[in-house]
Structure 1
Amino acid sequence: NFHNKENIQTSSSISNNTQFILPSPKKSKLTEFTKYDFDEFDGLEPLEDELNIDQMKETCPFCDEILPDLMSDKMKLALDRINNKQGKIEESDRIDFCHTHFAELLIVPSGIANKYPLNINFDELPHRIHRFKDDLTEIINSNAYSYYLNLAKQVYQEVGHRKAATPMMLMSRFESLRPGYYGSKGAVLIANTLIDLFINTRILTAVKSYPLQSINYIQEVLVPETAMRLIFEDIGSNSSLETARNIMIASSDFSDYVHNCDNE
């Protein structure tokens, strides 16, 4: 804004009180200089250029967030799909696209800064998981502590066995069960490997999984316990399982975008 408030008010008052006044025969004296901050004017042109640049950038059609100059193929396809869509755009379209650009602008760069892996060798996961068989068997046989088994038992005691196993209740504790940066792609591989290791071999039985059903025991206890150990291996043995669990929680949003089953 080139004009300060004081100058605007003065100009307005002159306009509203227009009167013809004879000039005084006395010569007016200059009693005060108007002071200008020329540094302020020097900074206006770059600011104006910056505003013009922002106006040239492409924005989200839903939330007006400025989109990145170099959009990923996934974002380009999503934007083209919205622009070319005939008829009413669904709420799910808005949510999906805003989630995509939010992830690419904020979540993914933050994850990279925290050294979460963009590339994971999922083919070797089954072999790595087999190395945890003894540890996980000790949990199944109640010979070792499990953070996630204790969490599940607490929920079952509070709300009852039937209600605790409902999809709604499972979703309510979904956040704490996600396998960190291994994502939903990793979760499926981990679960299938654990089913082969423990259910198909009858190491995990209905008696040993009680009060959980065997498949829920896999999902709520052994999958997060396994993911935590995978992350523990990734970050090095000088760390701890607790640190790995914290990373698992913190990196889950990153994995939802980068290592999602839907990306296949």
Structure 2
Amino acid sequence: MEQDVYTRTTFLIKKGNIPRKEQESFCHLHKIEITVKPEGRQKGYPSFIDFDQLKGRIHRMRNELEAVILGQEHSPYRNIALKAYETLGKNKARSTMGVMQRFDATLPGYYGPKGASIILRELQKLFINTNYLTKDMTKPQLPLEYMQQVLLPEVGYRLIKQDLTDRQSSNDGRDITQQAMDVMQESTEYGNMMYPDAHEPSAHEDKDDDDGDQDDQSEASFDSSAED
């Protein structure tokens, strides 16, 4: 019987016949196939994300995001930032170390860095380029800082909340909002592995996706075998 690709490649790695960079790439893909994808399916994370539809979904959140900005809607992510400023002071809160301490809370879960890049791009169009977001609105944070640390996770959890609602998977006893926030935090590693960067192909990116305007369709397709 012919050996599978992983067995053959593992043999070549052991023989030292594959450059180190390619070895690392193989190990990364191997982890995705053997560990990340099966665990993601078990937890009900989407097996496919159509990133082309994110722009429309984000823009339709504008009223909700404006309510957050104006203080009309509570934001736990804003509270995290304000607590950091109160505890650390402005300079330390804005330092690289201070930002990294609360970095994980701002990531959009299984949408990964690729999704984060798209979200930030659209948020900039909506609120930065239009001069809507001012220093008075975001202080003590700067507008760009506020966009990255408050609006980005606000969009991330809302996207996941929509996915959960569409999948009708909100019947585990938790409030759907809290469930979405929990999933966003718990699925960060999955997103980092599956969709590492907006400018790199994902682990299973479909090259034949249509580029047409499909904003009204659901963008996340879930594995039917996932456990509720």
Task: Report the TM range for the smaller structure's normalisation.
Answer: 0.7 to 0.9
Instruction: Find out whether 1:179 has 2:179 as its counterpart.
Output: no
User: Once the two structures are superposed, what CA deviation does each residue of 1:200-242 show, in whole Å capped at 9, x if it has no partner?
Assistant: 1222101111111111101100000001000111110764111
Instruction: Find out whether 1:163 has 2:65 as its counterpart.
Output: no
The one-letter code matched in structure 1 to 2:194 is V
- Offset of residue 102 of structure 1: 3.5
CA distance in 2, matches of 1:109, 1:145: 35
Q: 1:93 to 1:158 in 2, by over 3 A?
A: farther
Instruction: Find out whether 1:120 has 2:56 as its counterpart.
Output: no
The one-letter code matched in structure 1 to 2:196 is N
| Match of residue 196 from structure 2 | 260
Q: 1:96 to 1:178 in 2, by over 3 A?
A: farther
Match of 2:77 among 141, 148, 162: 148
CA RMSD for the aligned pairs?
Answer: 2.8
CA distance in 2, matches of 1:147, 1:130: 21
User: Once the two structures are superposed, what CA deviation does each residue of 1:29-66 show, in whole Å capped at 9, x if it has no partner?
Assistant: xxxxxxxxxxxxxxxxxxxxxxxxxxxx9xxxxxxxxx
The answer as to whether partners of 1:118 and 1:258 remain within 8 angstroms in 2 is: no
- Offset of residue 164 of structure 1: 0.8
Q: SS where residue 118 of structure 1 aligns?
A: strand
- Offset of residue 121 of structure 1: 1.1
| Match of residue 34 from structure 1 | none
CA distance in 1, matches of 2:39, 2:79: 31
| Match of residue 243 from structure 1 | 179
Instruction: Find out whether 1:84 has 2:18 as its counterpart.
Output: yes
CA distance in 2, matches of 1:126, 1:228: 15
- Offset of residue 119 of structure 1: 1.6
Residues 1-264 of structure 1: matches in 2 within 5 Å? Answer: 69-71=4-6, 83-85=17-19, 100-236=29-165, 239=170, 240-261=176-197, 263-264=200-201
CA distance in 2, matches of 1:149, 1:93: 42
Runs (5+) with no aligned partner, structure 1: 1-56, 58-68
The one-letter code matched in structure 1 to 2:187 is S
Q: 1:103 to 1:173 in 2, by over 3 A?
A: farther
Question: Alignment length, in residue pairs?
Answer: 188
CA distance in 1, matches of 2:50, 2:70: 31
Q: 1:149 to 1:255 in 2, by over 3 A?
A: same
The answer as to whether partners of 1:149 and 1:221 remain within 8 angstroms in 2 is: yes
Q: 1:244 to 1:218 in 2, by over 3 A?
A: same
Q: 1:104 to 1:182 in 2, by over 3 A?
A: same
What TM-score do the two structures reach when normalised by structure 1? 0.64
Structure with larger Rg: 1
Runs (5+) with no aligned partner, structure 2: 171-175, 202-228
- Offset of residue 111 of structure 1: 0.4
- Offset of residue 101 of structure 1: 3.6
| Match of residue 225 from structure 2 | none
Q: Any runs of at least 4 consecutive aligned residues in structure 1 with deviations exceeding 4 A, and if so which?
A: 92-100
